[in-house]
């Protein structure tokens, strides 16, 4: 029920925003209208500035987000030593159009996402030196005659060992109706380095 409501709400707002933005700016994105301001909005919304902040002593920082479309993804974690035990939920992330849509439209979309429990990005403090498994589970929607078509993608599970004082970016990437998950060391968010994180295909529930 939560997913259906979130998908339908985001879909309606995004469709309305396309029409409104097209009428007022002849289809231009906000990044074309005001590139400098748009870049700041993108960084504010996607966790870039959180990655820039100092990591709390004795921890590793994780920023998790859904990219490639306005579709949400839910993230969960578990410590790798506890294989086959239940994942613990972190939250749901969804791209809200900040930096692409006009600010007031992006704000409206962001408000709808927040009301449904989805954020532009999630932050999680991990215990360093211990293997951790991060699971992303996505659901997408597209318009069809007479309604909305919903597509589920995942779960996708990655395992890696976070190091103390480092910041990591976990991206759930939508590619059409398919998806993949990428983990990067983003201690320098301007130059993230993709990790060779293990992709797990068993014991994911």
Chain position carrying tokens 């589920």: 152
The pTM is what?
0.76
**pLDDT 10s digit of each residue in the chain, 205 long?**
545 555 555 545 555 544 444 445 545 665 666 667 767 777 777 889 989 999 999 999 999 999 987 788 999 999 876 666 789 999 999 877 665 655 655 566 655 555 566 688 999 999 999 999 999 999 877 777 778 888 899 899 999 999 999 999 999 999 888 899 999 999 999 999 999 887 776 555 4
């Amino acid at each position: 029920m939560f997913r259906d409501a979130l998908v339908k709400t985001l879909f309606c707002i995004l469709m309305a925003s396309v029409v409104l933005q097209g009428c007022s700016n002849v289809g231009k994105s906000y990044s074309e209208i005001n590139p400098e301001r748009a870049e700041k909005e993108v960084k504010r919304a996607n966790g870039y500035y959180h990655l820039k902040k100092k990591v709390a002593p004795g921890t590793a920082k994780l920023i998790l987000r859904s990219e490639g479309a306005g579709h949400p993804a839910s993230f969960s974690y578990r410590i790798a030593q506890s294989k086959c035990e239940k994942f613990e939920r972190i939250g749901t992330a969804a791209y809200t159009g900040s930096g692409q849509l006009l600010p007031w439209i992006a704000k409206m979309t962001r408000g709808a996402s927040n009301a449904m429990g989805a954020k532009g990005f999630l932050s999680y403090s991990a215990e360093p030196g211990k293997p951790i498994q991060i699971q992303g589970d996505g659901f997408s929607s597209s318009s069809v005659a007479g309604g909305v078509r919903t597509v589920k993608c995942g779960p996708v599970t990655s395992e890696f060992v976070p190091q103390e004082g480092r910041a990591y970016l976990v991206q759930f990437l939508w590619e059409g109706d398919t998806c993949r998950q990428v983990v990067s060391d983003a201690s320098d968010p301007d130059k993230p380095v993709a990790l060779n994180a293990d992709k797990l295909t068993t014991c994911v529930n």
